[in-house]
Structures are given as C-alpha cells and as structure tokens.
Structure 1
Amino acid sequence: MSDTPEPDVPAERLVGSDRVLAVLIELAGRPQGASLEDLARAVSSPKSTVHRALASLTRAGLAAKSGVGRYVLGDEFLRLAFAHHEARPDHQRVLPALVALAERFGETAHYAVLDGTEVVYRSKIDPPSGAVRITSTIGGRNPAHCTAVGKLLLADRLPDDAAVVAWAREHGLERRTDRTITDPDAFAAELARVRRRGYAVDDQENEMGINCLAVPAGIPAARGAEGAISLSALAYRMPLDALEDAAGQITALVAEAIDG
C-alpha cells in the first residue's frame, strides 16, 4: 500500500492539524493560562507557527486571550465538553445510581471504565452536603490495580490466577501507598476474592485516607462492558468495614437505579 497521502488530505495539513491539537491539549493542562512563549516551548515549535494555531483556535472559540497576554481555553470549548458529557448515554444511564449513592451515604460516587492498565472516571457525583469532599475529576485516571473499580473490571477481564499473575508481571504493580498490593500472587488472590464476592475494595491503596467499594454498573454478566460504579469515602468518616457492611445495600441500590 502506498504511503502517499490522498490528494484531498495533503501531508502539510496533517502536520498543521497535529500542531493545533498539541496546542489545545497544552492549554487544557494550564488552567491559569499560558503565554505564546510558554506554548511554543512546550510544543517545540516556532512562535509564529504556534501563533497561527492559536488564531485558528480563537476563531473557533476554543481558545481565548486574556487581558494580560495569556491564552486560556475558550468558553466554546467548555460548553462543548460539558454538553457532550451530560448527553453521553453511559452518563445518563448511571446518573440515577450515582445520585442515589451520594444522597444515601453522604459520600462521593464515581462511574469508571477500564482503559488498558488504567481506569478513567467518566462520571462523578459529590454528596449534597459535607465540608470535605474527594478531589477526583471527570476524565481523571488512576492505575487499575490499586483502585476498587479497576480491580472489579480486571477481575472480569482476567479469568483466573494465571492470567492475573501474567498481567501483573507484564505491567507491574506500582506502589502508590504502603497498602498497595504489589506482589503478583497476592494480587491474584485479591481478584479471586472479588469474583467470589461480586464487589471490590480499595483499602487506602491508591490514596491514603480514601476507602472505596465498587460494584458492577449493571447486571453482573455485563459488568465488563458496562464499567463499574464506586462509593469513595474518607476513611475517618466511613471506615472500610462500614463500607463492606453496606456492600449489599450498594449493589441493590445500583441494580434498582440502572436495571429497574
């Protein structure tokens, strides 16, 4: 097959598009804004080229220039992002369950999916009240092996101990806290417990002070495709044993809200 670009998609346009996207992504990581010089340095491009990319983004409303000469994400970008998130079918499907969990237990509820060795949080509902809340973000990522949602989804993807050990040796089990499981055999035993119980826990394994319990986001047979729902709690407010005591309530509440 020829590597020559099709006539209507010239090679230089692809390079330019990649550069515009690189500038947009860089802006997204700088909530306080960035100067032209900062962005040119970050994407390793001449200032004149980055300026053209910023002009294109600004015309589309995806970037804006502040009064002090710094560029930020534009309001149109934010509108599109939030509108897309609110309209996503998976968010709409799990939202009643997340709201019910947050209201019932006064803690934060998440919906997450597996992406390689990480979990991605697609939805989050904070409790209606409470001075201290969890600082997770929609779109944020964490290693799958040390999160309750990740363990639940990996237990579905990896059918037995041998598969778990092979996965752990291939990808490693990064130690995030003193409680993170880093031994492949111990991790295999943990996922075996997840399969038996039908839920997974994170005993301050990803972040000290935060406990978590995850259940399937839908009927158990479909949990791999449907993602996982978790209740994340500050350990001093809701210790792990209290979370586990509520596992049956959490599972039933999610099943009722999603499956009817």
Structure 2
Amino acid sequence: MLAVLTELAQHGDGVSLEEMTQAVASPKPTVHRALASLCRFGFAARNGHGRYVLGDEFLRLAFAHHEARPDHLRIAPVLTELARRYGETAHYAVLDGDTVVYRAKVDPPAGALRLTSTVGGRNPVHSTAVGKLLLSYALSDEPAVADWIGDRPLTRRTPHTLTTAEALAADLARIRVAGYAVDDQENEPGIVCVAVPVFMTSPTRPSGAVSVSAPALRTSLETLLAQIPAIRATVEAR
C-alpha cells in the first residue's frame, strides 16, 4: 500500500490500474485492493477519466503537517524577507544522507524563475550550496570525504559539479573557514546560489541551511556574495 501511495505521487495526471500494477511489480488484485483501501480513507481518488490520483485527504494531512512543523514556522519569515529583499527564491533545507530535503521555499512576489526544487523534494548534497554547507560540519577532512563517497560515483549535474573527494574536501574546508557555501552553476546550469547555516536546535551544529538562488544572468554570484553579511544577519535576527 505504501509503494502504491508513493507511486501515485509521481503521476499528477493520474495512473491506471494496469500502469500501477507494472510500476510496483505486484499482482493486479493486490494493487486493486491497495487502491481501494486508499480511496476508502481519502488518500486516493479516481478522476474523471477513471485514473487514480492522490486524494484530497492525503493532501490536507500533508499540508497541515508541513504548516505546523516548528522549523517551518520559525524559518518562514526569514525566507519571505529574503525573497522580498533580493527578488529571488529562498530555501530552507536539511541534510538527509547524501541528499538535502527542502523543508520550505519562498519565491519572490514577481519575476521568479522556476527551479527544480520543491518543498519535500531532494537534491544531491555535493552539488548544492545548502548540501555542501551542511556536509562541511559532518566531514572534517579529505579522508572523511573519501569514506563518505566510498565506491559510488558523484553525479555530474553540470560541467561545474565537484565529483572528486579532493575537490569536494577542498571546498568543504573553504566553507568551514568562510561560514557560507556557494553553488556556482553546479546543480543547475545558469543558476547560482549562496547558503548560510541555521542554528535552531544547537549552537554548534546547524539544524539546516538557508539559501538564496538566482539566475546568473539576472543576479550574479558576486552580487549574492556581497549580500552574505546581510543574509546572515537576517537569519540570526529572526
């Protein structure tokens, strides 16, 4: 049932019983029973074309939970202020293994560029400013970075992505000294980003990171870097 629910979330325009059966690799009667149970509790529904979609009750619970989370409530004014002041998108993300999870996102009132990030979505740690900043607190030197990478290759999201232990360790060392992280078109072509830590639960270990992301042609990385003291002050003041 959880596999069916997870798969439903990937199909905004709905999915048929046959398609779902193939996606979760289970017998059709089993999938049908799971969908029927989800529909009974409002976690799934059938649209006008007879395809299954996420139900309104699931969406209600998800958004209600998100809006009530303490970190979301505390960070929302920060993101709103940053998006308003700089006219760019502000994020709050936390570390989860080798990915970052976006807990909150605020677009500017006008002129927002659509980014791949979504609330609840993930991006690789090694290619994002928020991820590298949080990773700098977890991995203290190059051997630690090499152990963390292990045998898996680091995905090259763009030509600028750091994909070796040496390069990533050097960047993490710079981040620890500077107190902020940079994504210079490393996760998305044409997108630059700066990130600073957020200390909500500990004075020494960040609970997450706040970032400001922008299209490089509109707001240069140098412009964002010049605003680091103001961005940090906004976070700390809130």
User: What displacement does 1:224 show?
Assistant: 3.5
User: What displacement does 1:166 show?
Assistant: 3.3
Rounded to whole Å, the distance in 2 between the matches of 1:92 and 1:28 is 25
Q: 1:43 aligns with which of 24, 32, 37?
A: 24
Rounded to whole Å, the distance in 2 between the matches of 1:171 and 1:256 is 40
Deviations 1:198-222 (A, max 9, x none): 0000000011011010001137964
Query: Which runs of structure 2 are paired with 1:103-252 in the superposition (5 Å)?
Result: 103-130=84-111, 132-218=113-199, 222=203, 224-252=205-233
Rounded to whole Å, the distance in 1 between the matches of 2:113 and 2:30 is 44
Partner of 1:3: none
The secondary structure found in structure 1 opposite 2:145 is helix
Q: 2:10 aligns with which of 23, 29, 52?
A: 29
| Cα gap change, 1:222 to 1:152, in 2 (>3 Å) | farther
More helix by share: 1
234-243 or 215-224, which deviates more: 215-224
State the identity %.
61
| Cα gap change, 1:190 to 1:75, in 2 (>3 Å) | same
TM-score by length of 2: 0.94
User: What displacement does 1:161 show?
Assistant: 3.3
Letter in 1 for 2:55: G
Structure having the higher Rg:
1
Deviations 1:131-190 (A, max 9, x none): 533242111111101100011001001123332243344543321111111232122111
Contact 1:148 1:200 in 2 (8 A): yes
Deviations 1:18-51 (A, max 9, x none): xx11111111111110111111121222222221
The secondary structure found in structure 2 opposite 1:26 is helix
Letter in 2 for 1:243: L
228-237 or 179-188, which deviates more: 179-188
Gaps of 5+ in 1: 1-19
Aligned-residue CA RMSD in angstroms? 1.7
| Cα gap change, 1:201 to 1:221, in 2 (>3 Å) | farther
Letter in 2 for 1:197: A
Contact 1:109 1:231 in 2 (8 A): yes
Contact 1:119 1:143 in 2 (8 A): yes
Partner of 1:75: 56
The secondary structure found in structure 2 opposite 1:67 is coil
Deviations 1:50-82 (A, max 9, x none): 211111111101111122211111111111111
User: What displacement does 1:93 show?
Assistant: 1.4
Rounded to whole Å, the distance in 2 between the matches of 1:220 and 1:151 is 20
Partner of 1:4: none
Q: How many residues were matched structurally?
A: 238
Contact 1:218 1:254 in 2 (8 A): no
| Cα gap change, 1:195 to 1:44, in 2 (>3 Å) | same
- After TM superposition, what 4+ stretches of structure 1 lie above 6 angstroms from structure 2? none
